[in-house]
Chain A
Amino acid sequence: MIALRPAYLIPVVGFLLLAAIFARNLYIVGIEGRQASDLPSVLVDKPAPQFSLPPISGDGKGFTRADLGGEPSLVNVWASWCPPCRIEHPVLMQLARQGVTIWGINYKDKAADAQAFLDELGDPFKAIGADRTGRTAIDWGVYGYPETFVVDAEGRVRYRHVGPIRSEDLKNKIMPLLRKLAK
């Protein structure tokens, strides 16, 4: 006779729950034909949230809600402690050279670390706001780092990209959208 004891079922039940979550995520990645990196945001087509962030260090100008609008732009959430942000950075530098306006939200970072990151890899941002408490990132619904939002001339969020921007993301999604918004 098999003596089933409930406690011994915990591992397998726990695992199956985890597997179901994976399956759901794979489904999102695969069958629906979208990448895990473009998770839909509840903010899409809504105005960007209100915020006002100080600069990373010193007195200069930070980054506030009022800066957005007037022209299409990107808002990039990054941190010096986030390795994928380093991978992404050259792409941002290239975009900035092409004349795309990029705003930065520096998430839960130390001023010196953030500055070092920019000094080493270059500064593609028109302005950067330091989100030391992570409050603004919550308002934007940030999921992982780095994360990039496309904001149109009216200050509405039009697209959200989770994870580093790769060249195919630029080619297929971000650049066509920016071109469309610029018209």
Chain B
Amino acid sequence: MIAEAGQFALMLALAIALVQGSLPLIGAQTGRAGWMALGPACARAQFVFVAGAFGCLIYAFVVSDFTVSNVAENSHTLKPMLYKVTGAWGSHEGSMVLWVAILALFGLAVASFGDNLPPALRARVLAIQGMIGAAFLAFILFTSNPFIRLDPAPLEGRGLNPILQDPGLAFHPPFLYLGYVGFSMAFSFAIAALIEGRVDAAWARWVRPWTLVAWCSLTIGIAMGSWWAYYELGWGGWWFWDPVENASFIPWLIGTALLHSAIVVEKRDALKSWTVLLAILTFSTSLLGTFLVRSGVLTSVHSFASDPERGTYILVLLVIVTGGSLTLYAIRAPALKGGGLFAPISREGALVLNNLLLTTAAAVVTLGTLYPLALDAFGGGKVSVGAPFFNATFVPLMIPVLIAACGGGMLGWKRGDLAGALSRVRAAVGIAVLVALTVGWFAGERKMFGAVGLAITAWLIVGSAVELAERIRLFRIPLGASLRRAIGLPRAAWGMVIAHSALGIMVAGITATSAWQTEKIQMMKPGDSVEVAGYTLRFDSVDAFKGPNYAGQRARFTVFKDDQVVTVLMPEKRRYPAENNTTTEAGILWTPLGDLYAVLGDRAGAEGWTTRFYFNPLVAWIWFGAALMALGGLISLTDRRHRVGAPKRAAKAAAAPAGAAKAGA
């Protein structure tokens, strides 16, 4: 009964989405206020029905209703409650329902908080959202229905892939989807702007908060995925350049570029058509990720049970959405002429450089991910692309991005004073050089890499601090006055300083752990000791134990430093009988300076156990940096400009009719 209710809710949602996707748009074109007003009403109704369907699916998982085929294939009565709930989006079908639920949530947000939008723009944006929703709801209902019944129903479910039964991964998809789907907002605004033939500062001011929300969520989602890979896959790595990881990273890179170029539109009325293109590409690459994961075109660890029929559907969808929007762009974008001119050395110039490098980096990652496919299609030889390719191409591209991240903000708008900016950041330059020399002098191995990486860290952190000090005129005016300036500083400025320093923290983690990881692999018997990076680990025992839906072996390693007991690490090997699968749980001692990472391998007869230990210096800084970066984004989101200043389109309207008339003619 509940499953049928869910399916019925999805059907109703599809019908509503079709209305939402058509009538408000026609209303906006023909100036019918009543039709435009259907947009918000439909968006609210759609949210109610999609959320209802999602609730039904979660309910079916919670009560282990194995008459529902999706539940039988992905759940098990013995699974802990948390994973029963999260199992609802662990499968392809369920994850698509989560996808539209988040889309509907964003639609609801536009309907509820969009009162300051001009009605025609709001109607158009919601109509585009409605079209996307309709396409995905049809996809769910026709190719991936999660509510299909099973007869006869099995007594027990097949269980969820144990590798997914982990708190880190349980919430990884919702954040990732908040990001992917969140970029649909920027996309809808971009299409609406192309239809209207108008992009102005007010438009950019509406787009930026939505992009920020999506970007923060995607940052958190990717970081969670990477953190999970680190502690769960059990080999001490945190990023593998797997096609599906790349699929989430490409929209992140373009979204980051979008975030920065929208600033130029808002402040300087320039880079308009470029920003619109980025908005289209950000969402398109999000869809591309969806396609790659589910079509079976690429092989990856993350591949959902792939299916060419679904692949065909998503490809058609991709062609309509991306092909259609890029065609619209080709026709309408030439009319979007920006007003603001600027010299190459200026804040705009720095942001353009940031954009060019980030999009190039995104293109490189896309190339590396799709190259095997493309070359094969052109009848070329078979080539392989793995981590070595990305390390050789992506890393050098990122160095100038990171250098430009600081200092760009020191340049003035329009025409910057490079010498003046350099003299203001001389402290940061000096410290960065000092760090590079120190690292180069003391580091035993991988000197160059370590020196460059840590110098960039110093540059980013000190440079951001200098930028902040400049803005509040620290030490030039009385401290109290500086403090008042600091409080009065726009939140967006704080957000930038925090996010850029966070980037520095992340770079430090990446550099240190890539350059100076220590690894020890050996056979050990209980009673043996081993020394890793100044710690002594004593192998005490291996015991069998039983979890709720698995059995396992747990080793005990007592960790000593300077003859003091620090902690006991307990790495595990787990076996999940329902899924017939094993997982490794690393034992990790987290410290700010690095972590000690222990993995229990296989038993090798009388010789004992294979054991592996790593010391990963500063590795936790990677995720701390990512979290801080997302926090910077959130702080920027609270900037009052995004709330108070938004409805100021009238002031700019004087310039707009010319452009609109040209486009409409």
Contacts and interface: CB of A to CB of B under 8 A. Distances in A.
Contacts of A35: 296
Contacts of B280: 11
Interface stretch (A65-73, A108-116, A149-157): A108-116
Contacts of A117: 235
Contacts of A30: 308-309, 311-312
A182 interface: no
A22 B376 CA distance: 11
A8 B322 CA distance: 14
B311 A29 contact: yes
B295 A29 contact: yes
B326 A11 contact: yes
Most chain A CB atoms below 10 A, which of B308, B309, B521, B610 = B308
Nearest to A21: B377
B277 A11 contact: yes
Contacts of B234: 120
Contacts of A81: 237, 240, 386-387
B459 interface: no
B557 to A, nearest CB: 16
Contact of A19 (B235, B319, B334): B319
Contacts of B610: 119-120
A42 to B, nearest CB: 9
A120 B599 contact: yes
B299 A144 contact: yes
B489 interface: no
A5 interface: yes
Interface string A77-88: 001111110110
Interface string A82-106: 1110110010000000000000000
Nearest to B295: A26
Given A3-B334, A11-B277, A82-B386, A120 B373 contact: no
A41 B463 CA distance: 54
Contacts of B388: 108
B417 interface: no
Contact of A21 (B333, B373, B382, B584): B373
Given A15-B326, A143-B384, A122 B602 contact: yes
Contact of A120 (B334, B519, B602): B602
B633 to A, nearest CB: 27
A3 B313 CA distance: 33
B297 interface: yes
Give chain B's interface residue range (CB within 8 Å of chain A): 35 or more
B330 A11 contact: yes
B440 interface: no
Contacts of A162: 299
A3 B335 contact: yes
A24 interface: yes
Contacts of A90: 582
Contacts of B291: 22
Contact of A116 (B322, B329, B519): B519
A1 B665 contact: yes
A22 B521 contact: no
Given A26-B311, A26-B312, A120-B601, A8 B334 contact: yes
A142 interface: yes
A4 B334 contact: yes
A84 B241 CA distance: 12
B334 A37 contact: no
Contacts of A107: 384
Contacts of B315: 19, 22-23, 26
Contact of A119 (B299, B384, B601): B601
Interface string A129-162: 0000010011001111100000000000000001
Chain B at the A interface: SS class: helix
B143 to A, nearest CB: 13
Contact of B299 (A8, A26, A36): A36
A23 B318 CA distance: 11
B660 to A, nearest CB: 15
A26 B301 contact: no
B308 A29 contact: yes
B343 to A, nearest CB: 22
Contacts of A143: 372, 376, 382-384
Contacts of B381: 138, 141
Interface residues of A, number: 57
Interface string A45-87: 0000000000000000000000000000000000111111011
A8 B372 contact: no
Contacts of B532: none
A81 B233 CA distance: 12
A79 B331 CA distance: 48
A92 B2 CA distance: 43
B591 interface: no
A163 interface: yes
Nearest to B366: A18
Given A1-B665, A18-B370, A142-B382, A163 B299 contact: yes
Contacts of A8: 273, 329-330, 333-334
A107 B383 CA distance: 13
B612 A15 contact: no
Contacts of B374: 18, 21
A153 B647 CA distance: 77
Interface in B270-287: 273, 277, 280-281, 284
Contacts of B582: 90
Interface in B298-352: 298-301, 308-309, 311-312, 315, 318-319, 322-323, 326-327, 329-331, 333-335
A39 interface: yes
A15 B323 contact: yes
A117 B521 CA distance: 10
A164 interface: yes
B166 interface: no
Contacts of B318: 19, 22
Contacts of B312: 26, 30
Contacts of B322: 15, 19
Nearest to B163: A87
Contacts of B370: 18, 21
B331 A16 contact: no
A3 B584 CA distance: 60
B311 A115 contact: no
A103 to B, nearest CB: 19
Contacts of A116: 235, 519, 521, 612
Nearest to A11: B326
23 contacts: A3-B334, A11-B326, A11-B330, A15-B322, A19-B319, A21-B373, A22-B291, A22-B297, A22-B318, A25-B297, A25-B376, A26-B312, A36-B296, A36-B297, A37-B299, A39-B376, A81-B240, A81-B387, A84-B301, A112-B521, A121-B601, A138-B381, A143-B372
Given A12-B330, A108-B386, 10 more contacts: A19-B323, A21-B374, A22-B315, A22-B318, A29-B295, A81-B386, A119-B521, A119-B601, A141-B381, A164-B299
6 A-B pairs with least C-beta separation: A30-B308, A163-B299, A12-B326, A119-B610, A143-B382, A120-B601
Interface of B: 233-235, 237, 240, 242, 273, 277, 280-281, 284, 291, 295-301, 308-309, 311-312, 315, 318-319, 322-323, 326-327, 329-331, 333-335, 370, 372-374, 376-377, 381-384, 386-388, 519, 521, 582, 584, 599, 601-602, 610, 612, 665
Interface of A: 1-5, 8-9, 11-12, 15-16, 18-26, 29-31, 35-37, 39, 79-84, 86-87, 90, 107-108, 112, 115-117, 119-122, 134, 137-138, 141-145, 162-164
